[in-house]
Amino acid sequence: MSDVHSDELLREVAALPPLPGVYRYFDAEGQLLYVGKAISLKKRVSSYFQKNHGGTRIGHMVSKIVRLETTVVRSEAEALLLENNLIKTLNPKYNILFRDDKSYPYLKMTGVSTVSAKLELPGPSHFTRVSYYRGAVEKRHHYFGPYPSAWAVKEAILLMQKVFRLRTCEDPVFSNRTRPCLLYQIKRCSAPCVGHISVQDYASDVANAEKFLRGDAQDVMRTLERRMMAHADKLEFEQAAELRNQVAALSNVLHQQSMDNVEDRDVDILAVKVQGGRACVNLAMVRGGRHLGDRPYFPVHVDAAIGFAEDDSSGVPLDTAVEVQTLEAFLAQHYLNVPMPGTLVLSERVSKTLLNALSEQTGVKVNAVHQPREQRRAWLDMALTNAGLQLARLLAEEGSQQARTRALAEALDLPLESLDDLRIECFDISHTAGEATQASCVVFEHHAMQNAQYRRYNIEGITPGDDYAAMRQVLARRYAKLAEVLRECRRSGEVPAGTGHMPDLVLVDGGKGQVAMAREVFVGLELDLSLIVGVEKGEGRKVGLEELVFADGRDKVYLGADSAALMLVAQIRDEAHRFAITGMRAQRAKVRLGGGKLEEIPGVGPKRRAKLLQRFGGVRGVGLASAEDIATVDGISRELAEEIYRALH
């Protein structure tokens, strides 16, 4: 194996220190091949170059290595953290990668202010509000979760309303109520906004709700029963009846969720399934003893990574089952930024070294259970079933999408050698009576829409409502530089590294007029006219009657309402329209409200801006005010008022 590597690389490998760290392999084009961690960099990296790995995936990768980078760290936990941060950010070709960075939602209970005097009228700050939350947490509020989905949070909020009648209204709504809302009428809120419950009693309900969310449901039940009996002894039957209803609602919840004998408070259940070159890790969450639901994760690069598991004691790559590799990759990457529970129930046995490193990294002693019993067994079986169902759904969808890609390629005589790399870019124009014109460019590649590559273009300097001019501008802006690079490549015969490439198909939403405009742009840029295809709406603008219009003179093509190729074209066209119209609406709102412009006016700092917003009730009010009205605000001169008025109009 060493025969294919340079002496310089081998000397670099021989000089590595026997210290913990992270290593990165690169090929001749500078592409990152693999990121790995090691207790001993010298021992681990040398193992790749001292043996003949034959025709295995490891051998294929090692034969491509021309450059090595390493980073020494203090411990294996640090190496684990750095390794998986690099994997998630750099997307190496031979690592299993989980790319779902969407944060988890939480149930938020706002912190409350204390009533400092009996004469003070309690306001919204004195009554905890329950709400859905996603983002950074603040110490003054209480957060419960994370939850696997928004639906799970909303179910928990509904439960808080049914059992403890906590408010969900925002503070401005609370402050302006003069009578109870509908939620009070249907017994989902105790109406603190109009004084139907005292601060102390509401705080007691909040405390019970927090206990319940932490898993102390039986304690809450006993507390409510004691309070109910105390009211009954005092002949306060109305209050006792209220507590009786609360106990009944809580009892019903406990029965529905089978929580009576659950000892586990916080548990994550992880089940992995592999089939057809794809994998699914299904994560189910138990918090406070309640099963909150699950979420599937689908890693990329599973095929390339098979066989790259490494034994931490010897540093020798092993042919470990792909299920284990996938699960270990998920554990290492997922818990970088997500709170870790004390117990993991796993469908596969994972490395103790990994678990120890996770414990050190998160500060939580991790107890991993591989062959659970009783309730945990039921949870794991359910997670395995869901993983299988989600993976089957994904494979079915991918098979259908690949069939659509092939059908379109065959219908339009596009290259069939590598359908996975077939790239389609689609453009659409959107505006309202010429206002806030925007163009969108969406990208279809690897049999899926590539959201990260979408682009919006603000169209300026045209006659309002001129869609043809807008299409001319966006196509010229998108392809002018690329066309220049391609012309230079044809002259020199070399393709510079990092150069983009033309798509295999350019779709424009429109008929002959839009296609003629695209043709004009491509002729000026010396680009291939056969790439341009217009999607012309059929008679009555009915879906399924669309025809394809070509810029190179070919006759129109009607693919048929049931054509898989037309389904793909319609999918891409509709996504371009959706992306354009959402951008246009946001831009239009910004123009109409002056959003962002107030901060850009010279002489209007934070204090003056706050006074303006307070006086007129927001940016919209400032935009509707006259220069005379603006001049009445403290600190705003007549000249500045006129400047503000001009800037907003």
Q: Who wins on pLDDT, 614 or 6?
A: 6
CB of 218 within 8 A of CB of 212?
no
Residue 610 within a domain: yes
Residue carrying structure tokens 């310089």:
8
- Where a domain ends, among 64, 90, 116? 90
- Decide if 262 is inside a domain: no
| Residue 603 falls in which region: left (phi positive, over 0), alpha (psi -120 to 50) or beta | left
Write down the pLDDT at residue 496. 52
For 243-252, 459-468, 569-578, 583-592, which range has the lowest pLDDT when averaged over its residues? 583-592
pLDDT at 98: 82
Percentage of residues in the chain having pLDDT higher than 90: 15
User: In this predicted model, what pLDDT tens digit does every residue of 421-452 receive, in sequence order?
Assistant: 889 999 998 877 666 788 899 999 988 899 88
Residue 225 vs residue 140, higher pLDDT: 140
Residue that the structure tokens 């042919």 belong to: 319
In terms of pTM, does the model score above 0.85? no
- The CATH code of the domain that includes 335 is 3.30.420
**Res 478: pLDDT:** 92
pLDDT tens, residue by residue, 514-541 = 999 999 999 999 898 888 999 888 776 6
Of 229, 256, 283, the one marking the end of a domain is 256
pLDDT score of 510 more than 50 = yes
For Cα atoms 366, 370, 373, give the angle at the middle one, nearest 5 degrees: 105
Q: Are residues 504 and 363 in the same domain?
A: no
**Paired strand residues for 269:** 284, 345
Q: pLDDT at position 522, please?
A: 92
For 158, 223, 264, 269, 378, the CA distances from 217, given in Å and listed in that order, are 17, 10, 13, 22, 21
Number of independent structural domains in the chain: 5
Query: Smallest Cα–Cα separation from 281: which of 341, 362, 365, 350?
Result: 350
Q: Is the pLDDT of residue 29 over 60?
A: yes
493 and 598 belong to one structural domain: no
User: Burial level of 617, CB count in 10 A (0-12/13-18/19+)?
Assistant: exposed
In a domain, 404, yes or no: no
**Diameter of the chain measured on Cα atoms:** 98
Q: Is 302 found in the same domain as 185?
A: no
Rg (CA), the chain: 31
Q: 158 phi and psi, to 5 degrees?
A: -60, -40
Q: What is the CATH number of the domain that holds 578?
A: 3.30.420.340
What are the residues whose beta carbons fall under 8 Å from the beta carbon of 68, sequence distance 6 or more?
A: 9, 12, 13, 23, 24, 25, 26, 45
The residues, ordered by sequence, that sit 6+ positions from 563 with a Cβ below 8 Å of its Cβ are 407, 411
Residue 401 domain-assigned (yes or no): no
Tell whether 581 is covered by a domain: yes
Does position 405 have pLDDT exceeding 70, yes or no? Answer: yes
3-class DSSP state of 70: strand
Range of the domain at 601: 594-648
pLDDT, tens digit (0-9, with 9 covering 90-100), for 74-106: 887 788 878 888 888 888 888 888 865 567 888
Instruction: Indicate if 137 and 16 belong to the same structural domain.
Output: no
- Report yes or no on 211 lying in a domain: yes
Mean pLDDT of 562-566: 83
Q: Is the pLDDT of residue 588 over 90?
A: no
**Whether 230 and 298 share a structural domain:** no
| pLDDT tens-digit map of 321-373 | 788 888 988 988 888 777 888 899 999 998 888 888 888 877 888 889 988 88
| pLDDT, position 315 | 45
Rounded-to-integer distance, Cα 76 and Cα 358, Å: 10
Residue 18 makes CB contacts below 8 A (sequence gap 6+) with: 40, 41, 42, 43
pLDDT at position 101: 55
- Judge contact between 461 and 469, C-beta under 8 A: no
What is the enclosing helix (H) or strand (E) of 577? helix 564-593
Structural domain includes residue 198: yes
Where is the domain boundary, 566, 589, 612? 589
Residue 344 lies in a domain: yes
Q: Residue 550, Cβ neighbours under 10 Å: how many?
A: 18
**Are residues 559 and 425 located together in one domain of the fold?**
yes
